[in-house]
Amino acid sequence: MSTGEQKGERIAKRLARAGVCSRRDAERLIAEGRVKLNGDILKSPATNVTEADKIEVDGDPVGQKEATRLWRYHKPKGLVTSHRDEKGRDTIFDHLPSSLPRVISVGRLDLTSEGLLLLTNDGALSRHLELPATGWTRKYRVRAFGRITQERLDALKNGIKIDGVLYGGIDATMEREQGDNVWLEMVLREGKNREIRKVLEYLGLTVNRLIRVSYGPFHLGQMEEGAVEEVSQKAIEAALGKKF
């Protein structure tokens, strides 16, 4: 084990590179006593490790970094985007094919949301794609109860502040009315927690269906609910270059 000025890398970075979790989640795993280093429960995230160190998470050995891989997943509603849920609810990871390696999600979709969720075995890639600086948009189709005009939706392009939280510009288009509901297309450049639901609630609408249809250059397409499809290395390089 290496600490201080010795060689190696922080264990959070190592876990992220191995696709175990994001760097920020690594500290939580360590605090919960779920990480072992060379047979001993790790106490501090401020620890450097080398390739010679033996790391385990939940009793499973952490291997070396593999080639970066990315998958598209059609998340059904009713599943939590988390490896563990303190309320005991089903998570997406309970329903993924057993043939998949250990993966983490790029961002989250809440319990009642559905649609495209990207999965990767590379924690550094996950973090990179979540950052607004990446510039990738997230597109959603939304069904909401209530009435709204396109003029009010257009005002969202300038951003909006709700309960002290500033939400960035949103491109929102009304597709059609359906009974007491409206269907909208909404495009975001960042994804704060429950952003669409909170913004539309502020405008007097109640969201009753929320489907993510694209994340950057990757689209849900005609994938069936619960389906997982790997993105080709060629498509990854076209979207990201060779940095990953």
In 3D space, the residue among 157, 151, 142, 154 whose CA is nearest the CA of residue 197 turns out to be: 142
Q: Where are the extended beta strands (E) located within 22-149? A: 35-37, 40-41, 48-49, 55-57, 60-61, 70-75, 104-105, 114-120, 138-145
What are the pLDDT digits (tens) for 2-26?
444 457 888 988 887 777 877 778 8
What are the residue numbers of the active site? 110
The mean pLDDT of 97-110, rounded to a whole number, is: 91
Q: Where in the chain is the domain with CATH 3.30.70.580?
A: 70-133+218-240
DSSP string, 147-192: ---HHHHHGGGG-EEETTEEE---EEEEEEEETTEEEEEEEESS--
Q: 137-215: which CATH architecture? A: 2-Layer Sandwich (3.30)
Integer Cα distance of 242 and 194 in angstroms:
33
Q: Where in the chain is the domain with CATH 3.30.70.1560?
A: 137-215
Query: What is the CATH number assigned to the segment(s) 9-61?
Result: 3.10.290.10
Tokens standing for residue 97? 């094919």
In 3D space, the residue among 133, 131, 4, 13 whose CA is nearest the CA of residue 62 turns out to be: 13
User: What is the predicted pLDDT for the residue at 5?
Assistant: 44
User: What is the predicted pLDDT for the residue at 244?
Assistant: 64
CATH class of 70-133+218-240: alpha beta
Q: Where in the chain is the domain with CATH 3.10.290.10?
A: 9-61
What are the pLDDT digits (tens) for 75-91?
999 999 988 888 889 99
User: pLDDT category, 152, cuts 50, 70, 90?
Assistant: very high
What are the pLDDT digits (tens) for 199-217?
999 999 999 999 999 999 9
Cα of first residue to Cα of last residue in the chain, in angstroms, is 27
Tokens standing for residue 87? 């309320």
In 3D space, the residue among 126, 127, 121, 124 whose CA is nearest the CA of residue 99 turns out to be: 121
Per the prediction, the chain carries an average pLDDT of 90
125 to 52, 83, 110, 140, 232: CA distances (angstroms): 24, 18, 21, 22, 15
What are the pLDDT digits (tens) for 26-79?
888 999 999 999 999 998 888 999 888 899 999 888 876 678 899 999 999 999
